[in-house]
């Protein structure tokens, strides 16, 4: 059964995270370029694509550390 959501005063701002992942075999990647994002207001911007090499466990560990660092930087930017 679908629930109706109601806006709660003081609720956290909602955002959209643009994200993508794909695993390639060793030596398969020639270059990684920024991805273009077109916004509804007519603006556009770039999303930096990251490159991590290693075993699945090493890639997972580095990815989780990168995600944590991303949100730490985001929180610092929003601190008055």
Please name the residue that has the structure tokens 């005063």: 9
List pLDDT tens digits, range 53-77.
Answer: 899 999 999 999 999 998 998 888 7
List pLDDT tens digits, range 24-59.
Answer: 998 898 988 889 999 999 999 998 888 898 999 999
- Integer Cα distance of 65 and 71 in angstroms: 10
- Integer Cα distance of 24 and 22 in angstroms: 7
Q: What is the pTM of this model?
A: 0.65
- Detail the DSSP E strand segments found in the chain: 35-38, 44-47
pLDDT of residue 69: 92
CB distance 56 to 67 below 8 Å = no
pLDDT of residue 39: 92
pLDDT of residue 57: 93
């Amino acid at each position: 059964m679908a629930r109706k959501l109601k806006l709660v005063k003081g609720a956290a701002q909602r955002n959209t995270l643009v994200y993508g992942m794909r695993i390639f075999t060793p030596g398969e990647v020639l270059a990684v370029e920024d991805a273009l994002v077109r916004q509804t207001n007519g603006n556009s911007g770039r999303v930096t694509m990251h490159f991590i090499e290693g075993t699945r466990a090493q890639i997972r560990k580095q990815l989780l550390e990168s995600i944590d660092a991303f949100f730490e930087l985001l929180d610092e930017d929003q601190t008055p």
